[in-house]
């Protein structure tokens, strides 16, 4: 540190004044680096100008507050900034491609979208559903258990932060291959097996202990996740809409409730807005927080009571940026200023400097605004639950944030300045990769190929993981993640959240990272299609979407270019399907010494079903029933599990045909509502062969299929028909009695009866030439499907 840049103020505690008024460019950057606030020169200059106007130097806590508020993690500079691509300028990817859909289609059932920490849609006329999905990749890479657990804890607080009672969790994870050779690991990168065990234990630990069922999820394996683990944690909550309060006013008391504040989670957001390096372990360990689910369970009880009694005027969680974000954002939202007395914040141990208290991301804390008249009752409610709650300041009418520490003013910032960071302008470019379509002879033994595919890591059973999560607690899980005696994978989870209503909530997801290697546009389209068709397959409709982007460093034009392409697809397809985005989150800078993460878009879909008694599971029910395929099969194997098995990537990435897809979704919904569907399963990784296999062993009956009846587009190879991953397709079981009516309902779609459920316990497939090409016993298939993760 250059000594004349920093000056300890004459206070009994640590408080630095930073001499930026006279600083040159290199010194400004030095300050940004030394304080680990991750701001660039343009941003530092704006700060310098602000303080020159004020005629004084900033304190460390002021610069830290600005750094937190302006971080990528808190402000989403890439998504909100400008992007130059192909000579055009896009002003905010977020506004242009994500938020615009809801503005354009104006669904009456969107209650609060992109305003709070979670999106809210109506459930029935009294209740709303709040949904949020978080990314917690960076902390999980450093400390898998703590990183994942606090990811769950954080997203649950996002739900509490809109006054909703958390009723279900989801988690979608991406790991490197579990059998990776240790020699291949660069310094500072943990083995995928270690990361996998830690992340799964962390997620289970938090959700189980808090008593929130983990009902939906997925696990993907990819080489690029070795250095950049992907951890998406979601939470769904229920709230009585009339109790939704957000109307903080000047003089309302700022109440901090929950866990004590310590040095854990300092600079979590700046760390999450940078690449991981081999030093990350050493430098960034303090950025990972420590989880205590029981504290949050108590906090939840108190908050729900306060909500029901309508004692507070606003609430928000403390997540990234800690108090600095929570206080600042609340003040900004209600056009207030704030006075904070930092010495009142309960600490885990003494000795924290004011800036550390203000930006610490210690877990299990919430911030409430409470009218002075009601403060006694609020504090009493927290006390009854054994939760510490403290008044730490109040909101004011002057639009200025003033922070005191033992009477000394340590910060004074205009809220308006704090929330107007200079707009970033980034450059993007996109070049299509040069994959070629492989050419190889058709294998002779397709039964063997099928056995290999169903035991590949991305398709094999995740039962070993799923059973470590409680998916039954609260007793409202109607359709569980595993179906039937043999634990088949259901397409979506269904909950019955209200005691006196049959209405159900349907949660599903879609993610296809391997398609993104060929084209992020079609990856995004496929993820949207998959999330929706999973929802539709069990009976869901009126679907809202959430986006979660995990990408590489957006300062690098090619990474940003692929992000733009994925965003374009988000707009095109979510708009076409009239499934608006209601919330989302991005995690950029996922780069490690091994390179960038493969672009990974998770789409979460939340639908409703008017009556849970309509819900359909994926297991076949009765021999003699017909099996139909809905949707057309194209020669689309680029990025497929089949090509991967053969060692190819290909370029025929599965596309989405909007009109056909929409017709298929609507017709399936209609058939389910008419009670014509015995079982329904979506076709995804591994295509027709895998979907049929799963339906058969989950139901305990055989299936006989005839490939020549499958509607295809001019391609004549059994293996391609079996394993093509064309989107918008379903397999449907229909009883003989219902066939005629089913066919009438499906008349606008491409569909065909392709086989039957049989009494035998064999999956038997007849090829295009009428010969048997697959003949496998259910026991054998089940054993291959269940084995891979079992051995881990």
Partner 1 sequence: MRREEIRVCVLRVGGTNCDAETKRAFTDLGVKSEILHVNELVKHRNLLDYQVLVFPGGFSYGDYVRAGAIWARWILAKMGKELKCFVEEGRLILGICNGFQVLVEAGLLPGFDGISSYPEAALATNSPPGYNCRWVYLKQETNGKCIFTCNIPENKVLRMPVAHSEGRFVFAKDKEKLYLERLLENGQLVFRYCNKNGEYANGRFPINPNGSFHDIAGICNPEGTVFGLMPHPERAYYWWQHPNWTRQKQMPQYGDGKLIFESVIEYLTKNF
Residues near partner 1, by CB under 8 A: 204, 208-211, 292-295, 297-298, 384-386, 466-480, 483-485, 496, 499, 612-613, 615-617, 619, 621, 699
Q: How far is the CB of 754 from partner 1 (least distance, A)?
A: 22
Both structure tokens of 650 = 């290909």
Q: Decide if 527 contacts 511 (C-beta within 8 A).
A: yes
At residue 786, what are phi and psi to the nearest 5 degrees? -85, -25
Query: Whose Cβ is closer to partner 1: residue 328's or residue 607's?
Result: 607
Cα torsion through 574, 576, 579, 581, rounded to 10 = 30
Structure tokens at 251: 């003089």
Q: How far is the CB of 286 from partner 1 (least distance, A)?
A: 23
Q: How far apart are CA 438 and CA 433, in angstroms?
A: 15
Write the CB contacts of 420 (distance below 8 Å, at least 6 apart in sequence). Answer: none
CB closer to partner 1, 24 vs 500: 500
* Catalytic site includes residue 706: no
Determine which one of 73, 267, 681, 706 is catalytic: 73
Considering the complex, what minimum distance in angstroms separates the CB of residue 617 from partner 1? 4
Pick the closer one to partner 1 by CB: 262 or 699: 699
| 136 annotated active-site | yes
Nearest to 321 by CA among 268, 263, 260, 275: 268
Segment holding 175, helix H or strand E = strand 165-175
Q: Measured at the alpha carbon of residue 553, what is the angle toward residues 76 and 233, in degrees to the nearest 5?
A: 60
What does the alpha-carbon distance between residue 449 and residue 446 come to, in Å, rounded to a whole number?
5
The CB-of-478 to partner 1 minimum distance in angstroms stands at 5
d(CA 195, CA 203) in angstroms, rounded, equals 12
Q: Do the beta carbons of residue 326 and residue 367 sit within 8 Å?
A: yes
The H-or-E segment that residue 741 falls in is helix 739-745
Pairwise CA distance, residues 321 & 95, whole Å: 24
Say if CB 709 and CB 702 are below 8 A apart.
no
Q: How far is CA 565 from the centre of its chain?
A: 19
Q: Which is nearer to partner 1, 488 or 561 (CB)?
A: 488
Catalytic residue chosen out of the listed positions 136, 471, 681, 706: 136
CA pair distance 263, 705, nearest whole angstrom:
61
| Residue 201 C-beta: closest distance to partner 1, Å | 9
Q: Are strands 82-85 and 88-91 parallel, antiparallel or unpaired?
A: antiparallel
Q: What is the DSSP letter of 774?
A: E
Q: Which residues contact 259 (CB under 8 A, 6 or more apart)?
A: 292, 295, 362, 363, 364, 365, 388
Pick between residue 72 and residue 694 the one whose CB is nearest to partner 1.
694
Residues 6+ apart with CB under 8 A from 783: none
Name which of 195 and 212 has its Cβ closer to partner 1.
212
Q: Which is nearer to partner 1, 183 or 499 (CB)?
A: 499
Contacts of 493 (CB under 8 A, 6+ apart): 168, 170, 215, 216, 471, 477, 479, 480, 481, 506, 507, 508
In 3D space, the residue among 570, 505, 569, 510 whose CA is nearest the CA of residue 534 turns out to be 510
Beta bridge partners of 604: 509, 546
Residue 169 CB, shortest distance to partner 1, in Å, is 13
Nearer to partner 1, 273 or 476 (CB): 476
Give the CA distances from residue 463 to residues 115, 460, 467, 481, 619, in Å, rounded to whole numbers and listed in that order: 37, 9, 6, 9, 16
Least Cα distance to 642 among 711, 724, 543, 547 occurs for: 724
Minimum separation from the CB atom of position 211 to partner 1 (A): 2
Minimum Å distance from CB 123 to partner 1?
18
Residues marked active site are found at 73, 136
């Amino acid at each position: 540190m250059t000594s004349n840049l920093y000056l300890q103020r004459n206070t009994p505690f640590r408080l630095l004044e930073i001499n930026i008024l006279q600083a040159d460019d290199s010194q400004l950057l030095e300050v940004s680096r030394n304080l680990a606030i991750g701001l660039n020169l343009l941003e530092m200059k704006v700060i310098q100008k602000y303080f020159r106007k004020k005629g004084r130097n900033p304190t460390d806590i002021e610069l830290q507050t600005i750094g937190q508020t302006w971080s990528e993690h808190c402000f989403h500079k890439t998504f909100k900034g400008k992007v130059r691509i192909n000579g055009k300028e896009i002003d905010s990817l977020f506004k242009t491609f994500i938020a615009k859909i809801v503005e354009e289609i104006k669904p009456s059932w969107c209650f609060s979208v992109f305003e709070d920490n979670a999106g809210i849609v109506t459930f029935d006329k009294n209740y709303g559903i709040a949904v949020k999905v978080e990314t917690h990749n960076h902390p999980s890479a450093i400390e898998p258990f703590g990183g994942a657990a606090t990811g769950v804890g954080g997203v649950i607080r996002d739900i509490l932060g809109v006054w909703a009672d958390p009723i279900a969790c989801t988690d979608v994870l991406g790991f490197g291959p579990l059998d990776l050779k240790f020699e291949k690991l660069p310094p500072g990168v943990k083995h995928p097996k270690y990361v996998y065990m830690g992340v799964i234990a962390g997620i289970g630990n938090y959700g189980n202990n808090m008593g929130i069922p983990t009902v939906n999820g997925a696990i993907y394996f990819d080489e690029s996740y070795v250095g950049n683990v992907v951890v998406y944690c979601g939470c769904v909550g229920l709230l009585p809409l009339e109790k939704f309060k957000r109307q903080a006013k000047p003089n309302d008391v700022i109440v901090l409730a929950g866990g004590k504040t310590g040095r854990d989670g300092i600079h979590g957001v700046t760390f999450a807005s940078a690449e991981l390096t081999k030093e990350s372990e050493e430098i960034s360990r303090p950025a990972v927080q420590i989880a205590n689910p029981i504290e949050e369970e108590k906090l939840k009880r108190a908050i729900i009571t306060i909500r029901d009694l309508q004692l507070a005027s606003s609430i928000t969680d403390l997540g990234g940026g800690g108090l600095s974000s929570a206080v600042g954002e609340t003040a900004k939202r209600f056009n207030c200023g704030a006075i904070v007395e930092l010495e009142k914040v309960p600490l885990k141990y003494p000795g924290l400097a004011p800036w550390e208290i203000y930006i610490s991301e210690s877990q299990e804390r919430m911030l409430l605004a409470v009218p002075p008249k009601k403060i006694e009752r609020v504090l009493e409610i927290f006390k009854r639950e054994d939760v510490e709650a403290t008044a730490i300041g109040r909101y004011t009418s002057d639009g200025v944030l003033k922070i005191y520490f033992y009477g000394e003013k340590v910060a004074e910032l205009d809220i308006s300045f704090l929330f107007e960071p200079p707009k970033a302008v980034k450059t993007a470019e996109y070049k299509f990769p040069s994959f070629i379509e492989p050419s190889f002879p058709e294998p002779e033994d397709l039964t063997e190929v099928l056995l290999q595919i169903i035991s590949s890591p991305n398709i094999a059973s995740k039962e070993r993981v799923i059973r470590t999560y409680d998916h039954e607690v609260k007793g409202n899980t109607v359709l569980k993640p595993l179906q039937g005696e043999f634990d088949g994978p259901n397409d979506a989870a269904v909950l019955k959240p209200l005691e006196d209503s049959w209405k159900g909530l349907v949660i599903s997801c879609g993610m296809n990272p391997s398609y993104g290697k060929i084209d992020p546009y079609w990856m995004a389209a496929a993820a949207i299609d998959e999330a929706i068709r999973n929802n539709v397959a069990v009976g869901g409709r009126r679907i809202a979407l959430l986006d979660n982007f995990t990408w590489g460093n957006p300062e690098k034009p090619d990474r940003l270019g692929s992000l733009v392409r994925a965003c374009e697809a988000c707009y095109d397809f979510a708009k076409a399907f009239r499934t608006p985005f209601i919330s989302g989150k991005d995690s950029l800078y996922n780069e490690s010494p091994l390179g960038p993460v493969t672009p990974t878009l998770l789409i979460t879909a939340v639908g409703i079903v008017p009556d849970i008694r309509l819900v359909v599971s994926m297991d076949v029910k009765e021999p003699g029933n017909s099996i139909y395929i809905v949707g057309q099969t194209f020669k689309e194997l680029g990025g497929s599990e089949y090509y991967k098995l053969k060692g190819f990537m290909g370029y025929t990435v599965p596309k989405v045909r909007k009109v056909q897809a929409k017709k298929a979704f609507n017709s399936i919904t209609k058939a389910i509502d008419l009670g014509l569907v015995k079982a329904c399963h979506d076709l995804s990784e591994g295509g027709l062969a895998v979907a049929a296999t799963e339906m058969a062993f989950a139901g305990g009956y055989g299936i006989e299929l005839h490939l020549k009846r499958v509607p295809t587009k001019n391609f004549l190879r059994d293996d391609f028909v079996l394993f093509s991953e064309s989107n918008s397709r379903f397999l449907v079981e229909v009883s003989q009695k219902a066939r005629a009516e089913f066919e009438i309902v499906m008349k606008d779609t491409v569909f065909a009866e392709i086989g039957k459920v049989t009494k035998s316990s064999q999956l038997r497939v007849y090829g295009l030439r009428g010969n048997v090409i697959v003949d496998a016993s259910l026991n054998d298939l089940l054993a291959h499907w269940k084995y891979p993760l079992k051995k881990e």
